[in-house]
């Protein structure tokens, strides 16, 4: 029987491991690689977010930066993470993201839609959680409104207006899916 892994051991192990692992309540789960469309979508989003956030306290991270969800005793690797909190400065993980993005794949979709949605929504700083399809032009957004409610929206065309503190970013579906070839 394996004992639960403590956070410090997990973080140290991630520094030494060639494989990334997500951590939930003392258990670790290996993460697989990503296909070309997944990488292009993540990079496109990060590119546009980074361009918009230059000169601000906001930081944009892709795939190798963890988000810590204290309330769920979890560390996840979102595909794209945006934080604008200047105090969110831990070098191995972030705790106050305002935007999290997961690019859906067959092996992660259920977890992204259930476990991560539930965990991410417990983050007081989070304004937008995006689930981005890689097999079609479709972005699902969970938006945290100022009144505390969460609103679900689906985009198949047009532009997403994303906000994070003083940062406002418009990203079109064409920007998100630039150079992505869908398999037929």
Cα first-last separation, the chain? 46
**Are the C-beta atoms of 61 and 67 separated by less than 8 Å?**
no
- 15: its two tokens: 């520094």
Confidence grade of residue 2 (pLDDT, cut at 50, 70, 90): low
Question: Where in the chain are the domains?
Answer: 33-176
Q: What are the tens digits of pLDDT across the range 19-50? A: 888 789 888 788 776 789 999 999 999 999 99
CA atoms within 13 Å, Cβ hemisphere of 60: 20
Task: Provide the whole-model pTM.
Answer: 0.92
Can you give the pLDDT at residue 35? Answer: 85
Confidence grade of residue 160 (pLDDT, cut at 50, 70, 90): very high
Confidence grade of residue 1 (pLDDT, cut at 50, 70, 90): very low
Strand bridging mode 80-83 / 93-94: unpaired
Can you give the pLDDT at residue 76? Answer: 96
Say which DSSP state 112 is in.
Answer: I
| CATH H-level, domain 33-176: superfamily | tt1808, chain A (3.90.1570.10)
């Amino acid at each position: 029987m394996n004992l639960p892994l403590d956070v410090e051991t997990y973080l140290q192990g991630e520094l030494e491991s060639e494989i990334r692992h997500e951590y939930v309540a003392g258990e670790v789960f290996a993460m697989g690689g990503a296909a070309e469309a997944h990488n292009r979508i993540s990079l496109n989003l990060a590119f546009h977010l980074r361009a918009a956030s230059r000169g601000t306290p906001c930081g944009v991270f892709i795939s190798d930066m963890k988000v810590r969800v204290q309330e769920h005793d979890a560390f996840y690797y979102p595909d794209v993470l945006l934080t604008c909190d200047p105090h969110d400065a831990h070098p191995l993980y972030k705790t106050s993201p305002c935007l999290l993005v997961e690019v859906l794949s067959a092996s992660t979709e259920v977890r992204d839609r259930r476990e991560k949605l539930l965990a991410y929504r417990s983050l007081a700083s989070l304004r937008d959680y995006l689930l981005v399809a890689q097999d079609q032009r479709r972005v699902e957004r969970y938006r945290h409104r100022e009144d505390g409610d969460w609103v679900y929206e689906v985009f198949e065309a047009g532009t997403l207006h994303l906000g994070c503190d003083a940062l406002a970013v418009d990203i079109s579906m064409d920007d998100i899916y630039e150079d992505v070839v869908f398999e037929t």
